[in-house]
Structure 1
Amino acid sequence: MKKAFVYLFALLLVACNVGKQNETTGFVTINGHDLIKPNGEKLLIQGTNLGNWLNPEGYMFGFGRTNSAWMIDLMMKEAVGPDATAKFWQQFKDNYVTRKDIDFIAHQGANTIRLPFNYKLFTDEDYMGQTGKKDGYERIDSVITWCKANGLYLILDMHDCPGGQTGDNIDDGHGYPWLFESEQSQQLFCKIWREIAYRYRGETTILGYELMNEPIAHYFENRYELYQKLQPVYKKAVEAIRQVDRNHIILLGGAHWNSFFWMLNDTTYDDKLMYTCHRYGGPATKEAITHYINFRDSVNRPMYMGEFGHNTMEWQRDFVKVLKENNIGYTFWPYKKVDESCMMGIKRPEGWDSIVVKYAETSRNTYQEWREARPNQAQFRQLLKQFAENCRIENCKPQAEYIQSMGMGKLKN
């Protein structure tokens, strides 16, 4: 009887230790449609995207035709040369997102930040003024530290994948989703994610890894053939991550701008998958997102609105209400850009449009056109320097009405 009692006590002690271990792992987990925080409370994602910081897009600088990162970089090199361009990118990255930005986002009521990045930050390819060893991990590590200090979760989003996953300017590629037809690009894609996952395998501030942004646009005649290739590529990346990290959630976006999910209905290969949708425009009603809700219900996994915004304040308020009522978390796009329709507006330097934007919009298809269109280099360099300075939060304008439309509280100082 005594032996049986000792044995039973030992079993209870082991069970208690396992329970404590589960409580202290600190990672966000999945329970059906819900995300669950380590303390057992439900987490409904609410926050913003740090877009344009590590994945520049032309419109956030005020550009139209010069709309991807490689185009912006080339345009600046044509105007002022590679050294001045590299100097600008360094200043831009140093100023665009700082501890004060993350503090501000947290003080407005956010609980999560989505961090878009370009895969080139983890290769030796020329990107944002650097070749060889990049500062990708240094930048992410900084954001993790700042988020941790504010109790924020972080989603890592590979916005620009090897070969290009979308076929438009947003993937910083060359107009076609080559990733899905290139074994070499897929190997690099998986390799980078495995390395990222290994580095952050124990980091509880990271909510999860979003494998790719808005795969496979609708422009291509063979798009349905490409859609069928999405899940196999996802499975490869998930397998690579799980070799080193069993802790973190993995987020999968649907094809056609994160809108089609029918090709992703197999959830059996991993127990920590969730899904992410995007929506810009259309009616701010439940009916407009019924297909997202139906898919979520069919697979019994969480659905999260990773991007939306750039609309009227009324539309945004109404859509936030719809998302909350239907248990869909969200992060607005973007946090910061020129002008408005963001949390923090960047002021254009005087002369920015007449010199920098004008050059960016000019035809520059030959060396002769470069020479003939090139503006005054001293003025151009000064404007780049001023733009980088204007990116600092101290020089930006908080958009109070926009922040309130995000479902957050009144602007706090």
Structure 2
Amino acid sequence: MICQNRPLPGPRKAPFRPGYLGLLLGSLLAATSPASGQRLSPLHAAGPKTVDATGREVVLRGYNVGGWLLQESYILGTDTLNSQWRIKQALLRTMPEAEVEKFYRQYRQQFITKADIDFLARQGFNCVRLPLHYDLFLTSEQRHARTEVIREPQTPQKLTAYVQQLSQWYDEGQLFANPRKLDGIRFIDEVVKWCAANNMYVVLDLHAAPGGQGTDRNINDNFLPLDLWKRHDAKGRLIYQDITVRLWEMLADRYRNEPAIAMYDFINEPHNLNAANGLTPDNQELNTLYSRLIDAVRARNDQHLLMIEGNGYGNEYTNLTPDKLKVKSTANLVYNAHRYWCPNTAEAADPNPNQINLLSNLTAFRDKWQVPVWVGETGENSNEWFAAAVQGLNDRGIGWGHWNIKRVDSGAGLLRIAPYGSILTPQGRAALLRNAQFANCQINRDVAAALTQPAARQAFTKLTIPGTIAATDYDLGRDGVAYHDDFSARTDYRDYTPHNQGGAYRNDGVDIIKSPDMPNGFAVQQLATNEWLTYTVSVATPGAYKVELRLHPGAEAGRLRLQLGSAPVGTATVPAGAAWTTVTLNTPALPAGQHTLRVLVEAPVQQLGWLRFEPAATTARTSE
């Protein structure tokens, strides 16, 4: 069993809660922030644990800031453009190169800022994984040479000329020669400063390696698949690998003494390295490059944690275990897993012990090899899946970096960017730059709750009786705790069934659709037999009530039953129909105070918009 990564176009730990990591860091870290003249404590491996300089364990739980320093088309809602270079290619058809470069400067200045990092810290996260594109470490002249390939990527001579130019710069020592002038260094320095001020660590992630580490255009941004492993220059060198080593040597030289950087993630998600693509079936190419990278960084006297990622989107480690690496020292290595669309149960296991995305395999690998493991990416699913994954990882003392902080018009990210139109128009680009700013993003509170309080049920918003309750404002919490839906999480990467049929408003298994006629613009739909929703309500005035339910019937009669705590409130029979209607029921006397209101589906109803509670006495007087 494997756990695929990207959406296709198409001993026991304390529970994690807001503020918990702030307390954890206060006791575990030897220092506070650079702003106060102190620094975070450097991390290292001690057997299967990650510890600080005092030997105290630090479990990193945080967020990826993807889509920023490497654009991914699905994050920006430009799926037809497929990758960053294709987005840039399309822009070059409508504007001069100087204007394109100006747009990218503005985009990188605004998409992620200190405000975003401060927000993550307030939620209780203690690290940020920073995905980087290698072209951020090219000079403007060198990036221009790559842009010339972008204009005509199907012309082999263009790519060959670019590779030969890279080779010349490599031989002449012109690649990464003046770090202070490179955009990538400036962004790393800023993120490190922002994070350190919040007692947060940073993971440097080479997300798009020179030549491309696989076949997925979004994360490789490569011109030809697997060129990192295949492309030779005129001297017969695997030149992209040489460049990758030199890049990490430069980074090690600059950051070897920076304790706020937790670890280096050498290459993000290598994948499809196999015999079908002309490579070995047992990761020999990965072993060779990782061994070079580890020795190169250590030769720089850099003792940072070094994370390696397996084949198959970062999960498969045949020939990559510590005993197989051809290195002088295996100290301070971390092994990675990326967990998407796979089971979170303890009994789920893969027969290949080197395939470690499943919880049982991940734990067994850590214990066998006595190395720390870290889930560098996880997410892209429902809140139910998020909470189950977080609980499973937290219980095993395994840290994680959630993917991703921002996404256009999506409930799966922590922050939702409003739709902006087309990136290929001036109006669309201006709207994107505006909408992506933290102050203009919508906070998906349900996602935050699933990650920081995965076992809890809590009110989504304040609800009072008498009053109107939007059906979509059911409580925060897991399936079986706050609600029940027939399908609430994807656990098989081959199953593309959406957990929220309608995809609107919230990221749970509850099916929610846009409904302009509803006060909040949304309605719950496809309410099937035995599904239910709970609402934390405050009964301000005790007594009997008349309840109106605004709903859309189905082709057959439906039935909804209401409970307050365990006490029955009433049952509404819904006649079959094709138009919105309002049905009523009368309740017994309801006690004052805070209660749990539950709506149970005894027979299907197409949509439910709201429930309105009015005192029965007032209703009777009004009708006289």
Greater mean deviation of Cα atoms: 83-92 or 173-182:
173-182
Tell me by how many angstroms 1:343 deviates: 0.9
Match runs of 1:213-228 below 5 Å: 213-217=268-272, 221=276, 222=278, 224-225=280-281, 227-228=283-284
Tell me by how many angstroms 1:217 deviates: 2.6
For residue 281 of structure 1, what is the amino acid of its counterpart? W
1:298 maps to what in 2?
368
Match runs of 1:6-405 below 5 Å: 26-124=41-139, 125-126=142-143, 134-169=182-217, 170-182=219-231, 183-217=238-272, 221=276, 222=278, 224-225=280-281, 227-267=283-323, 269-286=329-346, 287=348, 288-340=358-410, 341-349=412-420, 352=421, 355-356=422-423, 380-405=425-450
Tell me by how many angstroms 1:77 deviates: 1.5
For residue 64 of structure 2, what is the amino acid of its counterpart? N
For residue 415 of structure 2, what is the amino acid of its counterpart? M
SS at match of 1:247: coil
1:364 maps to what in 2?
none
Q: Could you say if the C-alpha distance between residues 333 and 25 of structure 1 is closer, same or farther in structure 2, counting changes exceeding 3 Å? A: closer
Tell me by how many angstroms 1:385 deviates: 1.6
SS at match of 1:51: coil
Q: Could you say if the C-alpha distance between residues 241 and 174 of structure 1 is closer, same or farther in structure 2, counting changes exceeding 3 Å? A: same
Tell me by how many angstroms 1:396 deviates: 0.7
Contact preservation (8 Å) 2:40, 2:199: no
Tell me by how many angstroms 1:219 deviates: 7.6
Q: Could you say if the C-alpha distance between residues 43 and 227 of structure 1 is closer, same or farther in structure 2, counting changes exceeding 3 Å? A: same
Tell me by how many angstroms 1:226 deviates: 6.7
Cα distance in structure 1, aligned partners of 2:227 and 2:364: 30
Contact preservation (8 Å) 2:282, 2:319: no
Cα distance in structure 2, aligned partners of 1:31 and 1:218: 31
Q: Could you say if the C-alpha distance between residues 121 and 94 of structure 1 is closer, same or farther in structure 2, counting changes exceeding 3 Å? A: same
Deviations 1:341-395, CA, capped at 9 Å, x for gaps = 111111112xx0xx44xx7xxxxxxxxxxxxxxxxxxxx1122122112111011
Q: Could you say if the C-alpha distance between residues 141 and 305 of structure 1 is closer, same or farther in structure 2, counting changes exceeding 3 Å? A: same
Normalization by structure 2: what TM-score? 0.55
Q: Could you say if the C-alpha distance between residues 224 and 408 of structure 1 is closer, same or farther in structure 2, counting changes exceeding 3 Å? A: farther
SS at match of 1:229: helix
Tell me by how many angstroms 1:224 deviates: 4.1
Greater mean deviation of Cα atoms: 222-231 or 123-132:
123-132
Cα distance in structure 1, aligned partners of 2:206 and 2:443: 27
Q: Could you say if the C-alpha distance between residues 400 and 88 of structure 1 is closer, same or farther in structure 2, counting changes exceeding 3 Å? A: same
Richer in helix (by share): 1
Contact preservation (8 Å) 1:88, 1:385: no
Greater mean deviation of Cα atoms: 99-108 or 171-180:
171-180
**Which segments of 5 or more consecutive residues in structure 2 lack a partner in the other structure?**
1-29, 31-38, 149-174, 176-180, 232-237, 349-357, 461-624
Cα distance in structure 1, aligned partners of 2:227 and 2:146: 25
Cα distance in structure 2, aligned partners of 1:381 and 1:217: 38
Contact preservation (8 Å) 2:121, 2:198: yes
SS at match of 1:301: coil
Percentage identity across paired residues of the two chains: 29
Deviations 1:152-206, CA, capped at 9 Å, x for gaps = 0000000011111122111111342221234211110000000001100110000
Cα distance in structure 1, aligned partners of 2:199 and 2:241: 34
Q: Could you say if the C-alpha distance between residues 130 and 390 of structure 1 is closer, same or farther in structure 2, counting changes exceeding 3 Å? A: farther
Structure having greater relative contact order (Cα 8 Å, sep ≥ 6): 1
1:11 maps to what in 2?
none
Tell me by how many angstroms 1:129 deviates: 11
Deviations 1:302-350, CA, capped at 9 Å, x for gaps = 111111111111111011111112221101001112122111111112x
1:6 maps to what in 2?
none
Q: Could you say if the C-alpha distance between residues 143 and 408 of structure 1 is closer, same or farther in structure 2, counting changes exceeding 3 Å? A: farther
SS at match of 2:316: coil
Aligned-residue CA RMSD (Å): 2.5
Cα distance in structure 2, aligned partners of 1:400 and 1:129: 41
Cα distance in structure 1, aligned partners of 2:435 and 2:44: 39
Tell me by how many angstroms 1:218 deviates: 6.4
Cα distance in structure 2, aligned partners of 1:166 and 1:129: 19
Richer in strand (by share): 2
- Count of matched residue pairs: 363
Greater mean deviation of Cα atoms: 218-227 or 65-74:
218-227
Normalization by structure 1: what TM-score? 0.82
Tell me by how many angstroms 1:244 deviates: 1.3
Deviations 1:65-105, CA, capped at 9 Å, x for gaps = 31211111111111333233222211111111111111000
Query: Which of 1 and 2 has greater Rg?
Result: 2
Cα distance in structure 2, aligned partners of 1:51 and 1:118: 11
Contact preservation (8 Å) 1:343, 1:399: yes
Tell me by how many angstroms 1:64 deviates: 1.5
Deviations 1:287-315, CA, capped at 9 Å, x for gaps = 23322222222211011111111111111
Tell me by how many angstroms 1:26 deviates: 2.9
**Which segments of 5 or more consecutive residues in structure 1 lack a partner in the other structure?**
1-19, 360-379
For residue 247 of structure 1, what is the amino acid of its counterpart? Q
1:14 maps to what in 2?
none
SS at match of 1:43: coil
Tell me by how many angstroms 1:285 deviates: 1.8
Cα distance in structure 2, aligned partners of 1:293 and 1:104: 31
Cα distance in structure 1, aligned partners of 2:362 and 2:64: 21
SS at match of 2:452: coil
